[in-house]
Amino acid sequence: MKRNTEFVCSNCGYSSSKWLGKCPSCGQFNTFYEEEIIEKKEVSSYRKFEESKISSLTDIEINKEQRLITGIEEFDRVLGGGIVKGSLILMGGEPGAGKSTLALTVAGKIAKNDKKVLYISAEESDAQIKLRADRLDINSKNLFLIIETGVEKIVNIIEKENPELVIIDSIQTVYKETIDSYAGSVNQVRESCAQILYTAKRLNIPILIIGHITKEGMIAGPKILEHMVDAVLYFEAEKYYQFKILRSVKNRFGSVNEIGIFEMTSSGLLEIKSPSKIFLDNLQKEKAGSGIVTVMEGTRPLLLEIQALTSRRNFGVPQRTVIGVDYNRFLIIIAILERKLNLHLENQDVFVNVSGGIRIFETAADLGIAAAIYSSFKNIKIPTNLIFIGELGLDGEIRPVNFMEARISEAEKLGFERCVIPERVKTGNTKLDIIKIKNIIDILNIIKKGGE
Ligand code: TYD
Ligand code: MG
């Protein structure tokens, strides 16, 4: 009998003639399952045959891209300044992350500006959405709800209604009738998305599609769609446990790695415009075992407090415990402090924690971590109007880091007064008192002075 099925990775769409335990393309385990092979002819049937247009590069006129501004600053910034007309945006996230809430909020804002918005739900009833809208205080005549799962019908509605924005919640629950596999399978998700993409481009209408990420194999992951769409946003709920982070990982119309920070409240998502302020709330004037550092989230600097505690251990192997900082970097910093500053940490338990439950992946925080450990061990108070920026080399040298001007200007905005930075870096115009240091040894003077 002729084989007409293949095995497809639900994470990335890789296909193989036999079942595989590990996907050779994306490295995920247990993601393969069997699916009908779809005929190529059928796939592209929705594209009408047209002759390709050929244009010389010099003849192409650029219209400045038009954008829909939602007024939700955190959302607009992540997209590079609003929703570009005719773009297809994918918003992924785990169930319960707040995708539908954010999408409905966006729809409400656009509809309020007298623009027609279609909110197409393929997984909730209109009553459910109405309930959510009531909670979010959205009530607009221009916002239309459609409960529909067939992608052909969805395209027809979009064509007929000609709205200014379309939201489809979610891509895993829509399906194309001509394809003989269930909604959520790789083929369905890929083909439905292709048709939606074609519609967005043809009609120049921006479409926001929502995609669930689950680790179970049977639901096709939004990874398959990443290369098709213009922008990919992920809604993360875990990394910063008190906040929800909207992150852009692909954007054809703006910079990636921008983040928007929200908090889920009983009446919807609240924008957090100045996160550093929250992380540094209730900071005492001076403190032992504390160092303020900056980390970059996209193009935005965040100021965080590193807390360190050392305590003497009389027997047994001393503990090294960190939360939010890379463990190996922390061990390197301890070794540098021991060797270069002659700090006797060999009989000390050392704990390091980052405020707000944030994880730091940057070396720019090295100097602040070292300062916090040193000040805890020596029990010298560091004034909290001081911030530390710099990477530590193994020889104790302080190395420059990127985005120096942005980091310093954020510190200035938040009322910091002094800033310890590596030598030979540009600081731009700043009112801060800049202290340039070459080596970790120089930090002794600063911390001592601070404690006076
Ligand atoms: P939801 O947007 O439905 O998540 P997703 O579409 O990503 O699956 O909602 C996420 C959670 O937020 C849900 O558990 C209910 C809660 N929630 C609030 O706390 N306040 C609100 O105003 C709303 C609308 C939801
Ligand atoms: Mg939802």
In this predicted structure, the answer to whether residue 280 has a pLDDT above a threshold of 80 is no
Per-residue pLDDT reduced to its tens digit, 156-171: 999 999 999 999 998 9
Per-residue pLDDT reduced to its tens digit, 301-341: 888 899 999 999 988 899 999 999 999 999 999 999 999 99
Q: Which atom of ligand 1 is nearest to the CA of 268?
A: 22
Q: Is 340 in the pocket of ligand 1 (CB under 6 A)?
A: no
Q: How far is the CA of 44 from the centre of ligand 1 (A)?
A: 37
Lowest mean pLDDT among 29-43, 56-70, 112-126, 199-213: 29-43
Ligand nearest to the CA of 104: 1
Tokens of 433: 């008192």
Measuring CA to CA, how many Å separate 9 from each of 22, 44, 60, 179? 9, 22, 40, 18
pTM of the model: 0.74
| 377: confidence class by pLDDT, cuts 50, 70, 90 | very high
The domain tally of the chain equals: 3
CA 423 distance to own-chain centroid: 32
- Give the domain CATH number at 119: 3.40.50.300
Q: Is 268 in the pocket of ligand 1 (CB under 6 A)?
A: yes
Per-residue pLDDT reduced to its tens digit, 395-440: 999 999 999 988 998 888 888 889 999 998 888 788 889 999 999 9
**pLDDT of the residue at 3:** 57
Pocket residue to mutate for ligand 1, from 264, 269, 271, most atoms within 8 A of Cβ: 264
Q: How far is the CA of 99 from the centre of ligand 1 (A)?
A: 8
Residue nearest to atom 21 of ligand 1 (CA): 268
In this predicted structure, the answer to whether residue 107 has a pLDDT above a threshold of 50 is yes
In this predicted structure, the answer to whether residue 219 has a pLDDT above a threshold of 50 is no
**Mean pLDDT, residues 114-136:** 94
Q: Between 42 and 31, whose confidence is greater? A: 31
Q: How far is the CA of 209 from the centre of ligand 2 (A)?
A: 11
In this structure, the answer to whether residues 12 and 76 fall within a common structural domain is no
In this structure, the answer to whether residues 76 and 211 fall within a common structural domain is yes
In this structure, the answer to whether residues 128 and 34 fall within a common structural domain is no
Share of the chain above pLDDT 70, in %: 91
What's the CA gap between 131 and 125, in Å, rounded? 10
Q: Is 135 in the pocket of ligand 1 (CB under 6 A)?
A: yes
**pLDDT of the residue at 210:** 94
Q: How far is the CA of 104 from the centre of ligand 1 (A)?
A: 11
Range of the domain at 301: 278-448
What's the CA gap between 193 and 199, in Å, rounded? 10
In this structure, the answer to whether residues 401 and 308 fall within a common structural domain is yes
Q: Is residue 57 part of a domain?
A: no
In this predicted structure, the answer to whether residue 209 has a pLDDT above a threshold of 90 is yes
Mean pLDDT of all residues belonging to the chain: 86
Q: Is residue 49 part of a domain?
A: no
**pLDDT of the residue at 233:** 92
Q: Is residue 52 part of a domain?
A: no
Q: Are 19 and 40 in contact (CB under 8 A)?
A: no
In this structure, the answer to whether residues 284 and 207 fall within a common structural domain is no
Picking from 247, 273, 299, the residue at the C-terminal end of a domain is 273
In this structure, the answer to whether residues 381 and 289 fall within a common structural domain is yes
In this structure, the answer to whether residues 24 and 94 fall within a common structural domain is no
